[in-house]
């Protein structure tokens, strides 16, 4: 399943981290590297030097403009962060040992991804919310910041370890197909519009509530048919919202 595990680096600043990440991916059998709007260049000498035996991974890396393009075809995605505090992050954070089994399980339905943020400040809450979970590598709290390439190394090692541990076991029963990220994103946008229309999402509570809804549905790993069902729910809620607004206008005359 490691051939379906993608490493996504978002707005990487330092070329050495690009090369070191490519090298450690090659060490642990991962080859799919995607770079989102990188500041550092793949052709920088430091990137080439740090890649060493990972140059094929670095040379094959795809560059895309945004996170959505990086994971559009993915069945399951996990964000990473050195910060695990706050309402948004605490609701779905876990260690690599806790989160990666679900990632590998979902790889039976298609590509999966682990997403890493830029070195100065990591992923934003908005970017983390778009993923199905958050991975936090536990470290000494007096020195909580890991180097980007080190975080990639620990994650690749844990994925490789889980893959080795699963060899020789009975293959799991075929799981239902999981809808790709892009299809889920369209569904979540549609559902948000609908929940706003009926007054469930409003004011400062809107973003935390929508995050909770996303997390609830994301954990269920919805199938394409279930995504269609939720689009149907959204359409009906939008219709209801228009009806209520129409009645309110009529009553105001």
Per residue in 35-88, pLDDT (tens digit) is: 999 999 999 999 999 999 999 999 999 999 999 999 999 999 999 998 877 777
Residue 19 has what DSSP assignment?
Answer: H
Measure the CA–CA gap between 191 and 40, rounded to whole angstroms.
37
Question: Distances from the Cα of 7 to the Cαs of 110, 183, 198, 223, 235, in angstroms?
Answer: 14, 21, 39, 23, 35
Q: How does pLDDT run across 10-38, given as a tens digit for each residue?
A: 999 999 999 999 999 999 999 999 999 99
Residue 82 has what DSSP assignment?
Answer: S
Rg of the Cα trace of the chain?
A: 20
Task: Spell out the CATH class of 2-166.
Answer: alpha beta
Measure the CA–CA gap between 155 and 34, rounded to whole angstroms.
16
Per CATH, 2-166 and 181-251 having the same topology is answered: no
Categorize the per-residue pLDDT at 167 as very low, low, confident or very high, splitting at 50, 70 and 90: confident
Measure the CA–CA gap between 221 and 198, rounded to whole angstroms.
25
Task: State the DSSP string of 89-150.
Answer: HHTSEE-HHHHHHHHHHHTTSS-EEEEE--TTT---HHHHHTSSEEE-----TTS----HHH
Tell me the average pLDDT across 112-122.
95
Phi first, then psi: give them for residue 238, nearest 5 degrees.
-65, -40
Tell me the average pLDDT across 218-233.
93
Angle 143-121-24 from CA coordinates, rounded to 5°: 70
Q: Are 240 and 232 in contact (CB under 8 A)?
A: no
- Match 């706003």 to its residue by tokens: 196
Q: Domain spanning 181-251 has what CATH number? A: 1.10.8.590
> What are the domain boundaries of the chain?
2-166, 181-251
Q: What is the value of pTM for the model shown?
A: 0.85
pLDDT beyond 80 at 173: no
pLDDT at 149: 97
Reference 236, options 189, 196, 194; nearest CA is 194
């Amino acid at each position: 399943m490691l051939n379906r595990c993608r490493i996504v680096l978002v707005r990487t600043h330092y070329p050495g981290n690009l090369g070191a990440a490519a090298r450690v991916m090659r060490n642990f059998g991962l080859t799919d590297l995607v770079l989102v709007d990188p500041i550092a260049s793949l052709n920088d000498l430091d990137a080439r030097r740090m890649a060493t035996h990972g140059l094929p991974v670095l040379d094959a890396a795809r560059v895309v403009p945004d996170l959505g393009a990086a994971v559009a075809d993915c069945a399951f995605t996990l964000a990473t962060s050195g910060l695990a505090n706050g309402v948004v992050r605490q609701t779905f954070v876990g260690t690599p040992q806790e989160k990666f089994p679900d990632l590998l399980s979902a790889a039976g339905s298609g590509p999966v991804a682990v997403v890493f943020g830029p070195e100065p400040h990591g992923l934003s809450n908005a970017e983390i919310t778009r993923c199905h979970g958050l991975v936090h590598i536990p470290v000494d709290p007096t020195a909580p910041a890991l180097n980007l390439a080190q975080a990639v190394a620990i994650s690749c090692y844990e994925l490789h370890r889980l893959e080795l541990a699963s060899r020789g076991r009975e293959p799991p029963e075929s799981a239902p197909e999981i809808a790709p990220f892009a299809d889920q994103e369209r569904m979540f946008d549609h559902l948000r519009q609908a929940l706003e229309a009926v007054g469930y999402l409003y004011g400062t509570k809107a973003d935390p509530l929508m995050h909770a809804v996303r997390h609830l549905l994301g954990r269920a790993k919805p199938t394409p048919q279930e995504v269609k069902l939720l689009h149907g729910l959204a359409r009906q809620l939008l219709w209801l919202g228009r009806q209520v607004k129409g009645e309110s206008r009529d009553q105001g005359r």
